[in-house]
Amino acid sequence: MTQLHTDRLTLRRWRDSDLEPWAAMNADPEVRRHLGGPLTREQSDASVARFEADWDRRGYGWWALAVRDTGEFIGFAGLDQVDEGMPFTGVETGWRLARPAWGHGYATEAARTVLAHGFGTLGLPEILAVTTAGNLRSQAVMRRIGMTRDPAGDFDDPSAPEGPLRANVLFRISRGDARRQ
Ligand SMILES: CC(C)(COP(=O)(O)OP(=O)(O)OC[C@H]1O[C@@H](n2cnc3c(N)ncnc32)[C@H](O)[C@@H]1OP(=O)(O)O)[C@@H](O)C(=O)NCCC(=O)NCCS
């Protein structure tokens, strides 16, 4: 299923018209604060090409997020294979919103639907989420959707430079735990 709907959002495949607002988000240092700094337009466009290739190859990935009423593009949410080189394997969820879209509950709303899709349609046994120790907003989304921090999973991201991006935390939710909520 490549398109999902929530009360206020559409999760859909990427369109050419998303490239510009996506690049604007990725040029915003606040949006990229925990992600390794702003991206150039080329890097931003290349990320969408990778997302779409992932979708074609394996049938899941990062959805573009749009507000249902207006069609406005506001960011992404979805599922991805944990990068090689991480100290654990599995499928992770994540989210990224343009700054004006923060504080509306959109990430949580999208993420709940992403989890339901991951456990239901894709039949995943467990979904992980990873972020820097300092990214409290993202960790709050994880908690709101019922994920639990696994303190044994704390790790230093080997691909991050020395500094605040190094220390990372791991959250988990199993299909059983999601069902019980
Ligand atoms: C991480 C990120 C998506 C979180 O965004 P967010 O706006 O804090 O999270 P939500 O969309 O779930 O919104 C929750 C907030 O909306 C508020 N809210 C307002 N209206 C709401 C509604 N109708 N329903 C639910 N919540 C609502 C909540 O009270 C909460 O506010 P609070 O932060 O003051 O407690 C955002 O900070 C971001 O894009 N950061 C940069 C990219 C990034 O770091 N991504 C994660 C990488 S791991």
Tell me the pLDDT of the chain (181 aa) as tens digits. 689 999 999 999 999 999 999 999 999 999 999 999 999 999 999 999 999 999 999 999 999 999 999 999 999 999 999 998 888 999 999 999 999 999 999 999 999 999 999 999 999 999 999 999 999 999 999 999 999 999 999 999 878 888 999 999 999 999 999 988 8
Q: Please work out whether the CB of residue 110 comes within 6 Å of at least one atom of ligand 1.
A: no
Residue 93 · residue 128 · CB < 8 Å: yes
Quick one: pLDDT at residue 26? 98
Quick one: pLDDT at residue 58? 95
Beta bridge pairs of residue 75: 65, 97
* Residue among 80, 86, 104, 113 whose CB has most ligand 1 atoms within 8 A, to mutate: 104
Measured in Å, how far apart are the chain's first and last C-alpha atoms?
Answer: 24
pTM for the whole structure: 0.97
Q: State whether residue 166 is helix, strand or coil.
A: coil
Q: Please work out whether the CB of residue 31 comes within 6 Å of at least one atom of ligand 1.
A: yes
Residue 91 · residue 127 · CB < 8 Å: yes
Calculate how far, in angstroms, residue 57's C-alpha sits from the geometric centre of ligand 1: 30
Quick one: pLDDT at residue 174? 98
Q: Please work out whether the CB of residue 32 comes within 6 Å of at least one atom of ligand 1.
A: no
Q: Please work out whether the CB of residue 127 comes within 6 Å of at least one atom of ligand 1.
A: no
Q: Please work out whether the CB of residue 36 comes within 6 Å of at least one atom of ligand 1.
A: no
The Cα–Cα gap between 114 and 118 comes to 6
Fill in the amino acid letter for 96: R
